[in-house]
Structure 1
């Protein structure tokens, strides 16, 4: 999947979609921020900077301070693909983020979402 167009999509363009998705289900922006910071190691200030600068997803993940080692515990289907079977590491990280946001929207307990 090298060069997939999602890689060039700005984080700032998908972040509000995540927030809208969870808010429709009576959840909050803070919950979205919590799962993204857990996954990537970004601080709240780092997330805001990524949004303000408009970096693409490839750069967002390349500059992530510390991908959570428990991210490999994220399993399931997103967009018709099992996240644990996605071969491209960048695409897998993007789908991990999608999966976490989906779990927030579905009302799953945060301790379960964060694989604690």
Structure 2
């Protein structure tokens, strides 16, 4: 198995570049050069994203509007109006004692519950 040297290769021109100076400074002051910008980014991001989130929820609220009782029941201009007393008497006139039980047709391959 090959033995790798512990010393990394660095060209002499690398030491004068901005990333090399940043890496050297980062080892001396880690919080100042990494932690503080990270925390500042998180705080600034929350301030910038708050209006965007508010706008999102305002658009959602415009889509979901409060419905009247007629809209809730599905009564529009082309539908007939429903009177509760009239519906009560119409349902009461039906013969509820004379009925027949019918099985629901099952989908192919579905268990029908018959033993």
Greater percentage in helix: 1
Greater gyration radius: 2
Tell which has more relative contact order, 1 or 2 (C-alpha 8 A, sep 6+): 1
> What TM-score does the superposition give when structure 2 sets the normalisation length?
0.17
> What TM-score does the superposition give when structure 1 sets the normalisation length?
0.17
